[in-house]
Amino acid sequence: MNEQQLHKRLEELRRQIEYHNYQYHVLDQPIVSDYEYDQFMLELRQIEENHPEWITPDSPSQRAGAPVAEKFEKVQHPAPILSLGNAFDADGVRAWLERIAKVDERALDADFVIEPKLDGLSVVLHYQDGIFVQGATRGDGEVGEVITDNLRTIKALPLRIPMTNDRRPTTDSAPSSVLCSPSTLIVRGEAFIRLPDFEELNAELAAAGKKTYVNPRNTAAGALRNLDPAVTASRPLTLLIYQIVDWQDSLTPGPSPSGSGESGLRTKPSNQSETIAYLRALGFPVPESTHCRTIEETIAIHGEWQEKRAALDYEIDGMVIKINNHQLFNDLGVVGKDPRGAVAFKFPAQEVTTQLLDIGVNVGRTGVLTPYAILEPVEVGGVVVKQATLHNFDFIFEKDIRIGDRVRIKRAGDVIPYVIGPIEAARQGKEQPYTPPETCPDCNQPVKRIEGEVAWYCVNAACPAQLIRNVEHFVSRGAMDIVGMGIKIVEQLVTEGLIGDVADLYTLEQEALLALEGFAEKKADNLLEAIATSKGQPLSRLLTALGIRGVGEVVAADLAAHYGSLDTLSQSTPEGLQTIAGIGPNIAQALVDWFERPANHTVLEKLRAANVWPVEQLSAVSSLQSDLPLAGLTFVVTGTLTGFTRANIKAFIQTHGGKVTGSVSKKTNYLIAGENAGSKLTKAQELGVPILSEIDLRQLAGES
Ligand code: IVH
């Protein structure tokens, strides 16, 4: 490829990647596998590495990896970023309408739009000629903080607009879309974390012995205002955009009062329902919004959302009712910071109080002990709650939670209910301070605290509770996905001693299963078949399944794409691992430690023997890549090795770009010689081929 073609390829890759981001993060309809996506990203990064002068801020490679900021700059918003007045019931909403109709009687005939009120952080995004150039927090509504690099890490945020279905990359490079972004577009939306993502994040933190977060909103706030964009990137933020703050176009004299009419492809929308449609067409993720003719209709829609609130995968604390027509909305003006033309119709809080009967302790798959509250059953949002999480032992002491206390409980959407804190005023003197256990509640072995971590651990590798959690994780949907293997079966297998580690699943036999309660032939066969099917899972899933600290689905996919097999991964060093974006010193160390533990060796060897050993084809790009450390070099290996097996060393050299041949010739660049090397060593010495030890090889490959 000449330079011009390479640049074209770069542009094509950027469009492809952003299109797949859009499919995945905005439409929730991915059309390529994570693996394929990773390959595009890899190729893009490699071109940009060779041509740093081609890197632009709107390249998808620039979403993460911006340097740590010293402080956030301030920016004056182009128009005040307003707040909202509240209404707490239907009469409150009717009263709002009456109030504003006194200011402008057109309000009586107005139509409305009603949208969920997302419980996140308001953000303001600036696009110049269709490119995301700046993002800010709301701040005090007049001046916000510039958090562009942090916002860029949010994959649902389009770096270029329009990004619509019409822009689907084709071989024909002419965009088929007719919709264009105005020269300046400034939009506002809400950044937040979805509940399942929040729970996954907390589960990973808990497994790593770290403090878990109390709620998605604070987590999102902390992530957005972190000075290190790498931290923001590691938090599963998303966003929804619902407002145009500024719209300027050099092609038209100004916003047309008639709204998007026939020539409307570069015209500012004139009401809220068109705004949402327009933002969606540009490629922004938008909230579900409903157009209503009357205020009573909006009240009915609010009722419907209240019903479905608990089933949503994000938190909302009410609905926003907006006067649809922008002209009227603006004419109605503002009281303080609240526009008259909109109102937040809040939901009743999903918070209750009940008595804390006792504190129980769970043992997680990494041995982390987590306390939970055993409660006097209480109804919250239509569900009876008997247990709630207490996060960690420090939380209990910080909040001074005592057994017998009346406590405040919150249940939000699908998240596990959690204890907010005690009601100290309700104490009667009988409440008992809590003492954490000194031994594991399951295996009775002493518990330990690891320095620098908040968690207490059961360090007994043979603890059955840990094994149960481990196997549960191993077979779960995001991991090996062994269909039909629920928690009950896992418990049976462990307590009956049929399995001592996850690899034992692959040597289970029908006869043994039939001895278990509830098993007949059909059930046993189905289970064995599901286990056998899981052998075909890709490496990324096996890596997730192994439950290594810090290695969730995303990290596992990165590792699989980079190393291709457990053989090469198990040989990696902390330094080598950290060359992968998203892997820091902690995860790198956790991986190395995991592979060093003898018990894990045994599991791996058993998995290999059972043929559970996926090997990924590394992309042609990566192995042909000229800037891999061993690219263009040919190696011969001889003698007894200490740190590698033969298969390992070959894979190691290949992953780093080198070639391995069987015999020494003038073309051999290096001979790797172990103990007791024979004729190949002599030949290399004769030909003057440099001789390296295994350690030298690692150094050459940049892995030491
Ligand atoms: S409209 C003039 N729409 O709620 C427009 N706000 O309590 C005023 N919020 O500061 C805001 N979802 O951060 C609007 N669909 C939505 C919203 C929304 C969440 C937030 C916003 C605002 C706060 C007011």
CATH classification at residue 336: 3.30.470.30
Residues with a CB atom less than 6 Å from ligand 1? 82-84, 115, 117-118, 122, 190, 242-243, 287, 320, 339, 342, 344
Interatomic CA distance for residues 378 and 10, integer angstroms: 58
Q: Say whether both 412 and 507 belong to one domain.
A: no
Q: Which residue has the higher pLDDT, 554 or 148?
A: 148
Q: Say whether both 173 and 211 belong to one domain.
A: yes
Residue at 70 is within a domain: no
* Cα angle 335, 336, 339; round to 5: 50
Structure-block tokens of residue 325:
């027509």
Closest-CA residue, ligand 1 atom 23, reads 83
Q: Say whether both 214 and 362 belong to one domain.
A: no
Can you tell me which atom of ligand 1 is nearest the CA of 116? 15
Number of domains composing the chain: 5
DSSP state at residue 580: S
Other beta carbons within 10 angstroms of residue 49's beta carbon come to 12
Interatomic CA distance for residues 272 and 229, integer angstroms: 33
Q: What is the CATH number of the domain that holds 13?
A: 1.10.287.610
- Averaged confidence pLDDT in the chain: 89
Task: Identify which of 115, 190, 312 to mutate to test ligand 1's pocket (most ligand atoms within 8 A of the CB).
Answer: 190
- β-partners of residue 353 are 408
Determine the distance separating the centroid of ligand 1 and the alpha carbon of 240, expressed in angstroms.
11
Q: pLDDT band for position 219 (50/70/90)?
A: very high
Can you tell me which atom of ligand 1 is nearest the CA of 115? 15
Q: pLDDT band for position 264 (50/70/90)?
A: very low
Task: Point out the catalytic residue in the list 71, 117, 659, 667.
Answer: 117
Q: pLDDT band for position 256 (50/70/90)?
A: very low
**Residue 164 above 80 pLDDT?**
no
Q: Say whether both 91 and 192 belong to one domain.
A: yes
Determine the distance separating the centroid of ligand 1 and the alpha carbon of 41, expressed in angstroms.
35
Can you tell me which atom of ligand 1 is nearest the CA of 122? 13
Q: Say whether both 664 and 636 belong to one domain.
A: yes
Identify the top-confidence range among 534-538, 626-630, 660-664: 534-538
Can you tell me which atom of ligand 1 is nearest the CA of 322? 1
Determine the angle formed by the axes of helices 34-50 and 553-563, rounding to 10 degrees.
Answer: 60
Q: Which of 57-61, 551-555, 595-599, 620-624 has the lowest mean pLDDT?
A: 620-624
Determine the distance separating the centroid of ligand 1 and the alpha carbon of 32, expressed in angstroms.
34
Can you tell me which atom of ligand 1 is nearest the CA of 287? 15
Q: pLDDT band for position 170 (50/70/90)?
A: very low
Determine the distance separating the centroid of ligand 1 and the alpha carbon of 398, expressed in angstroms.
33
Give me the domain span that covers residue 386: 351-433
**Residues with Cβ < 8 Å from 425, sequence gap 6 or more?**
none
Q: Which of 67-76, 245-254, 354-363 has the lowest mean pLDDT?
A: 245-254
Determine the distance separating the centroid of ligand 1 and the alpha carbon of 265, expressed in angstroms.
27
Question: Residue 662: its pLDDT value, please?
Answer: 80
Residue at 230 is within a domain: yes
Q: Say whether both 240 and 281 belong to one domain.
A: yes
**Residue 477 above 80 pLDDT?**
yes
Question: Residue 645: its pLDDT value, please?
Answer: 77
**Residue 227 above 60 pLDDT?**
yes
Question: Residue 19: its pLDDT value, please?
Answer: 92
Residue at 517 is within a domain: yes
Determine the distance separating the centroid of ligand 1 and the alpha carbon of 75, expressed in angstroms.
20
Q: Which of 536, 551, 572 is the last residue of a domain?
A: 536
Q: Say whether both 165 and 228 belong to one domain.
A: yes
Q: pLDDT band for position 522 (50/70/90)?
A: very high
Q: Say whether both 331 and 363 belong to one domain.
A: no
**Residue 18 above 90 pLDDT?**
yes
**Residue 413 above 80 pLDDT?**
no
Q: Say whether both 373 and 316 belong to one domain.
A: no
Question: Residue 623: its pLDDT value, please?
Answer: 41
Q: pLDDT band for position 224 (50/70/90)?
A: very high
Closest-CA residue, ligand 1 atom 10, reads 83
Task: Identify which of 118, 224, 340 to mutate to test ligand 1's pocket (most ligand atoms within 8 A of the CB).
Answer: 118
Q: Say whether both 315 and 381 belong to one domain.
A: no
Backbone angles phi and psi of 191, in degrees to 5 = -100, 140
Q: pLDDT band for position 173 (50/70/90)?
A: very low
Q: Say whether both 305 and 171 belong to one domain.
A: yes
Closest-CA residue, ligand 1 atom 6, reads 117
Q: Which residue has the higher pLDDT, 558 or 338?
A: 338
Task: Identify which of 77, 113, 122, 334 to mutate to test ligand 1's pocket (most ligand atoms within 8 A of the CB).
Answer: 122
Beta strands 121-128; 290-292: pairing state? unpaired
Residue at 212 is within a domain: yes
Supply the pTM of this predicted model.
0.62
Q: pLDDT band for position 349 (50/70/90)?
A: low
Closest-CA residue, ligand 1 atom 11, reads 83
Residue at 15 is within a domain: yes
Q: What is the CATH number of the domain that holds 658?
A: 3.40.50.10190
117 is catalytic: yes
Q: What is the mean pLDDT of residues 654-681?
A: 85
Residue at 505 is within a domain: yes
Q: Phi/psi class of residue 245: alpha, beta or left (left: φ > 0; alpha: ψ in -120 to 50)?
A: alpha
Q: What is the CATH number of the domain that holds 401?
A: 2.40.50.140
Q: Say whether both 38 and 109 belong to one domain.
A: no
Task: Identify which of 320, 328, 334, 335 to mutate to test ligand 1's pocket (most ligand atoms within 8 A of the CB).
Answer: 320
Q: Which of 82-86, 122-126, 317-321, 651-655 has the lowest mean pLDDT?
A: 651-655
Interatomic CA distance for residues 261 and 257, integer angstroms: 10
Interatomic CA distance for residues 167 and 254, integer angstroms: 26
Determine the distance separating the centroid of ligand 1 and the alpha carbon of 132, expressed in angstroms.
22
**Residue 270 above 70 pLDDT?**
yes
Q: Which of 506, 536, 566 is the last residue of a domain?
A: 536
